[in-house]
Amino acid sequence: MSFISYLINGVSLGSIYAIIALGYTMVYGIAKMLNFAHGDVIMIGCYIVFVLMGSFHLNSTVSIIAAVIGCTVLGVVIEKIAYKPLRKASPLAVLITAIGVSYFLQNFALILFGADTKSFTSVVSIPTIKLAGGDLTISGVTIATVISCIIIMAALMIFIKKSKSGQAMLAVSEDKDAAQLMGVNVNKTISLTFAIGSGLAAIAGVLLCSAYPTLSPYTGAMPGIKAFTAAVFGGIGSIPGALIGGILLGVIEILGSVGGVRNEEIKYEKYKQTDKKYVDYLRYGNRSIYYCRDYDIYRNDVESDAGSFSSALYLFYRSNRTESLCRISW
């Protein structure tokens, strides 16, 4: 039953990668550009939701809509300022510009929100489902993520095949010059592509931080790179390929992470008998595996014991137990 639980978690994580990968695959397929700042748009979207829910006490629906709108506008602005002047430039120039935009967004978030890792409140209110007598638990975030991915993929495929704008995207992806001669507004089409990809990035970021509830200026960097890998894996430029590549990568990552620490697993019950607020750890090279009683202990104790680190927190909830596995990359 544990394998099925891990498989479900892998599909959930892969669905997030698939949504992010859509931004890469659409931009490359239509504009022939690699937008490596895409991961940082995810981070900006998460911060918008974090601020609106935490500081302005807005509900999750309004906050998510605001994040989608904000990231959509941000994507269009990035395209107009950074990428549009480079339409005829070499791929290397575009790549360097994308990396520069990525660093700009990260440092902007550092100045505005600080470098400390923040606890992100889940926006998903779907109740957890327990199957097989409680041996198999499917969280509400997992359900919301998979359903959202399916709906987004289906809607995007319909949009591309049935709408006038979608047909314009296909024409531009085949030949920009020929499409322009046929009356297609190439600039508008490329801007629309960036807008759609950035809006989807906001949704993916919210789902990611709901599943793995930490937020920092570097939150989107690694998921962005992994999603790019998923896009290449599934065939960059292919929307179904982004889905397949994302799911495969998510499943491989979850199963690989669990398999690497299976022999060193420490049970939650071991810590229930102690009063000390301490988290034992096992070192693997420059990476440590922490076993946490709960997220609060991770926040209060691991941070003080381990010092500064760049956080990449993965919580794998085992069935209906309170045990969780926290992996922090130094």
**What are the tens digits of pLDDT across the range 51-99?**
999 999 999 999 999 999 999 999 999 999 999 999 889 988 999 999 9
Pair of tokens at residue 303: 């941070």
CA distance 280 to 292: 8
Average pLDDT over residues 133-150: 92
What is the rounded CA–CA span in Å between residue 205 and residue 150?
16
Arithmetic mean of pLDDT, 181-185: 93
Taking domain 2-261, whether its CATH number is 1.10.3470 is answered by: yes
Reply yes or no on whether the pLDDT at 285 is more than 50.
Answer: no
pLDDT per position as a tens digit, 157-171: 999 999 999 999 999
- Per-residue pLDDT of 238-263, as tens digits, reads 999 999 999 999 999 998 877 554 44
Q: Which two tokens stand for residue 292?
A: 């946490």
> Is there a contact between 141 and 211 (Cβ–Cβ < 8 Å)?
yes
**Torsion angles phi and psi, residue 119, rounded to 5:** -85, 120
Average pLDDT over residues 293-311: 37
Higher pLDDT: 255 or 291? It is 255
Q: For residues 172-201, give the mean pLDDT.
A: 94
Query: pTM of this prediction?
Result: 0.79
pLDDT band at 268 (very low <50, low <70, confident <90, very high): very low
Q: Using 50, 70 and 90 to split pLDDT, how confident is the model at 134? A: confident
Res. 237 pLDDT band, cuts 50 70 90: confident
Instruction: Return mean pLDDT, the chain.
Output: 81
Phi first, then psi, for residue 313 (nearest 5°) are: -95, 125
**Separation between Cα atoms, residue 148 and residue 157, nearest integer Å:** 14
Per-residue model confidence as pLDDT tens digits over 92-106: 899 999 999 999 999
